[in-house]
Amino acid sequence: MIVSSLTVGPFEENCYLVVDDSSGDAVLVDPGDEGDRLLALVGASGARLTAIWVTHAHVDHVGAIAAVKRVHDVPVYLHALDLPLYRAAGRQAAMYGIPFDDPPLPDRDWNDGDEVHVGSLAFRVMHAPGHAPGHVVLHQHEVAFVGDCLFAGSIGRTDLPFADPVAMQASLERIAALPRDTVVYPGHGPSTSIGGERQTNPFLTGAARVVRG
């Protein structure tokens, strides 16, 4: 498995290209902005893009879907509970005064416990609401793409519309139960590990609790 990342847009969101080097298949996780750069990343990899995986539908995670879909007609995966946010992404962008290209509707739904594949790589879907109602984590033993649930030393916001601090606390407990050596790829900031966050992240050590801001 090869994981490449680009940090894009005014919110400095991390988009990931996940390539199964045995088959050459790839997926884009959270193409949030700067579609031209993401398309160049896919092209330079030599991989065959097979899907777009969206952890949640905030504007900074979906802003380049339309640009990518115009070149690669691949299915978009999104949890159904985030469809209202997805439909409202253009209004989110207008609130921040940033340009936005409305994406086509998702093609596939995430469900908790689903297994999805990139070539020979299998990932498990974990429904992890709190930051957003349809937020998911995509994980296997080696890596976890956690969107905006967990960051290095911190967690995602719970003061946004449709956020739920109680649900976030439960989601963090599920994420923390992943194997210690799992590499964590968050939606913002540097990568980390489950073991490292268990030791130092105040929201996982019990030093802090999730509250509504």
User: Mind spelling out the 3-state secondary structure of 151-194?
Assistant: ECCEECCCCCCCCCHHHHHHHHHHHHCCCCCCEEEECCCCCEEH
Average pLDDT, the chain: 96
pLDDT in tens, 94-126: 988 999 999 999 999 999 999 999 999 999 999
Number of H helices, E strands in the chain: 8, 14
Which pLDDT band holds residue 168 (cuts at 50, 70, 90)? very high
Tokens 């207008």 belong to residue:
94
**Is residue 29 within 8 Å of 15, Cβ to Cβ?**
yes
Which pLDDT band holds residue 210 (cuts at 50, 70, 90)? confident
pLDDT of residue 198 exceeding 80: yes
Which pLDDT band holds residue 57 (cuts at 50, 70, 90)? very high
Please state the rounded mean pLDDT for residues 149-166.
Answer: 95
pLDDT of residue 213 exceeding 60: no
pLDDT of residue 176 exceeding 60: yes
In angstroms, the CA 13 to CA 148 distance is: 10
CA distances from 100 to 66, 183, 201 (A): 9, 31, 34
pLDDT in tens, 58-92: 999 999 999 999 999 999 999 999 999 999 999 99
Joined together, the tokens standing for residue 192 give 């980390």
Which pLDDT band holds residue 212 (cuts at 50, 70, 90)? low
Q: Count of CB atoms within 10 A of residue 30's CB? A: 28
| Cα first-last separation, the chain | 38
pLDDT of residue 156 exceeding 80: yes
Output the pLDDT for position 80: 98
